[in-house]
Structure formats: structure tokens, C-alpha cells
Amino acid sequence: MGDWPCRSCGNWNWARRNECNKCFTTHPNREAKKVTKHDLRANQAVGLDSYGYGTAGRDAKRTGEAGGFKEFDDEEDSRRKRRAAEEKHAIAERKAVKAKCEFCKRFSCIC
């Protein structure tokens, strides 16, 4: 038995493949290989396991608090947003007055 064409996508597959390497449909004449415990263990060892490790649901907010280091700080985020809004307001005021920055000579300061 030699190479075989996939019936769904037309891709030409090698004889050793039991499924199409593009659309993953099974070989037309062979039965699908049953997954063994050894296969699952081997896949887990190289990071190909099919289940997730997290305890949060799919739509849960990821806060970054679990490992002792909080990546997402709500207070810092609100300060950053407030600072950006203040900068936009200051730029709009300078443009309205036609005043440029003293140092970089622009309406929207880059310094």
C-alpha cells in the first residue's frame, strides 16, 4: 500500500500516515488508531496534553494573583488611564491656545 490522496481536501499523504496532515480526516481504508495510556503519557511529557491545568473557567478574569506576584494591579491600571487622559487634555489645551512645549517645540509633547 502506498501514498494516498485525502478524500476531503485532496492533499497527497505519505503511506505511513493514518490521517491527513492538513485536515486530519482518517485514512479511507484503515481504522483509526486507538489512543493508549502510553500515548497519553508521552503526549503529556512533551506538552501535547489535551486538558488545561487552570482552575478558572473559560470566561474568568485572569488577575495574576496566584504566584505571589500580582501582574495586573487595578490601582496602577487606573493611574495609567488617568495619566493618559490628563495628557490628552493638556495636549488639547495647548492646541487650543496654540502653545507649544518649551522643550520639544510641539503641541503633542514627546519629551
Number of domains the chain contains = 2
12 in a domain, yes or no? yes
Amino acid at 81: K
72 in a domain, yes or no? no
Cα–Cα dist 42/19, whole Å = 19
Q: Which residues contact 70 (CB under 8 A, 6 or more apart)?
A: 63, 64
At 55, the pLDDT band (50, 70, 90 cuts) reads low
Q: What percent of the chain has pLDDT over 70?
A: 76
Cell of 58: 473559560
pTM exceeding 0.85: no
Summarize pLDDT for 3-36 with one digit per residue, the tens.
999 999 999 999 988 889 999 898 888 887 788 8
Quick check: 93 pLDDT over 70?
A: yes
55 in a domain, yes or no? no
Selection from 43, 17, 39, 40 nearest residue 28 by Cα: 17
